[in-house]
Chain A
Amino acid sequence: MIPLVPDIAHFLAGLLVLLSFVQLYQSRLPPLISIFAAQSLALATFVAWQAQIQHAPHLVITAGITLIFKVMIIPLALHGLIRSLKIHRTVETVVGIGPAMMTGMALVGLSMALMMRTSAAVDVVVREDIAFALSVVLLGLLMMVTRRNAVSQAIGFMSLENGLVLAGTGAKGMPLVVEISVAFSVLIAFIVVGIFIFRIRERFDTVDIAVLDRFRGERP
């Protein structure tokens, strides 16, 4: 089983990238939230596995935080949110699945090329894990750019944060304080975004971000 050890970490990191692509493809909200939960579960497994092979017990705490907040609390809260706003049946107008996926591919290629150049001295497995993490971050950003719905933008943001945790735990020696603060900042961001969504909803009767542009007078 020894040759499988780096493979499993690698495989889980790749699974995160794959699930980012599935998020880009999915245009309905309830499956999108479930895919985000699945991605977080993959991340929690990755972090727990890293704790095992790096002999770093504090990573178990990170895995636990991910498991409790991102796999359970946040997806359940989001499901409740979209049900109470009665937007769980809306099919979102995306920029277009084809162009979004193409851009995503280009971003993965970009992060691979970048990591191969800048970190040539690092161990191959760690380098590729970090390249995957950068891909997840960029795909999360892409998700926020291509969506008009506030809920899916929030999911894009949290999936971006999954990429950050992936980068932080894939390499050795990230202190626990940083991880905990990142985890809590995401929780706070989630609360802020939730309030934000409610406020837009009250003000404009929709969660489409485009109305904000019109409100500010940026778009006629």
Chain B
Amino acid sequence: MTVRTTRTTRAVKTVRTTRTVRPRITTGTAGPGRPALAAGALLALLALSATACGADQPPSLFADGTVQVGTKNDQPGTAVVRNYKFSGFDTAVARQVLKAVDAKPDFGIVPSEDRRAVLTDKTKDLVVATYSITVDRMKDLDFVGPYATTYEGLMVRKRDNRIKKPDDVNGKRVCTWPGTTAANTLESPRYNRIQVYEAPDASTCINDLKVKKTADAVSIDQMILYGFTQENPDLKVVPDITYGSANQYGIAMAKGHRQDCLKLRDALRNYLGDNAWSQDFATSLPSIPKADATWETDFKPRLETVDSLSCRDRPGT
């Protein structure tokens, strides 16, 4: 499995089209054909204007039916690769909303810290990778979402009963990884009694907690933590400990595709409005319905929130 770094030829096609229709403006002497020349020049000018207007509109991301989607490969439950196939709730959401716009995803792996870059440098069309919507990120990217809502939580070894309430974490080594809002939250002075450290990625944190035992806990969004417990039965999520405010996961895209963004927003609204969301969530993350009786209330976003955060430069109120 490799990360696809090439871009489709869509942009190249646009340039070629522009070149072929660009009119050549010539000056000539007056003669019998002057009205015809004038009419020709006018038509050429109109064609040039039309081409210029057309060039302002970027081609639809869904035009060729396949959309390059960046996602994770190491988060069981949300996005993971098994036998060269992507699965998890993020990938289910991507498939569902793209199906509504007659497109299908071509998944590629994107680490947390590269999620913004792959969109701005046009390596990917969309990123669906437990990417939280923040005011800062909305300035650079458009989001469709949230498609899920989750608090940051704590995961410990199943037999470790030292951590049951927030104060128990003081003095403990807590692993997280860069590029996440979780790492940002725990850097706050409110949590300065927790020994937070960053590992390169999720897998390293899990290894530190489970095998090396150099970490007492791993902190990231509860939805992701529950996913890890599905493949690591010797780990558990501490139910009564959350940090910060709720993360709102969104489908990210580069700015400049507002029409596509609005189409995906409508698709997401429909997806949230019927049973498909709950079925996909329960299929991908069965550990959550088992642990949380009010899981639909806790993890399913409201449609009003989708309207407030989708396809905007700052949250609507």
Q: Do they bind each other? A: no
